[in-house]
Amino acid sequence: MLISVFFALLATPARLVSVTDGDTFRARIGGETVRVRLYGINAPERDHPLGSFATRRLEEILPREAIVVPLGTDPYGRTLAWVAAGPWNVNERLVETGAAWWFRRYAPHSERLRSAEKRAKSAGQGVWNDASPLPAHRN
């Protein structure tokens, strides 16, 4: 309960500007355009196998208006965030549909992402349909 209240206080309305790749987008937040990196996931880069699939999936899931819960910034100055769009947690939905991997190194205790990846892997979704579904990073 306390965690839900904490996230509700941090939640910020955002308007989509553009999708960069499967785990990053630009949005207008409070009159400023910011780069948002989805927390706890890693999607294939645009020029990698399934990169265009991951980018399209984020474009499909992320509406023009979303809720961003910032958690900090990454080394590239992007806002790390959980993102909600309608009924979905966008981060979780991308992992669940096989468009991204759970990034264990940065979100080691995320039960939601662990469960989403398990469902995608069991169903052979997206990146898990590949003969050797290894992310570009080390988990």
By annotation, the residues acting in catalysis are 37, 45, 78
E strands, 11-136, where? Answer: 12-21, 24-29, 32-38, 41-42, 65-73, 79-85, 88-89, 101-102
CB 82 within 8 A of CB 92: no
Q: Where are the alpha helices (DSSP H) in the chain?
A: 2-10, 51-61, 90-96, 111-123
- Name 42's bridge partners: 101
Q: Is the dihedral of CA 61, 117, 25, 48 positive or negative?
A: negative
Which tokens is 114 given? 């662990």
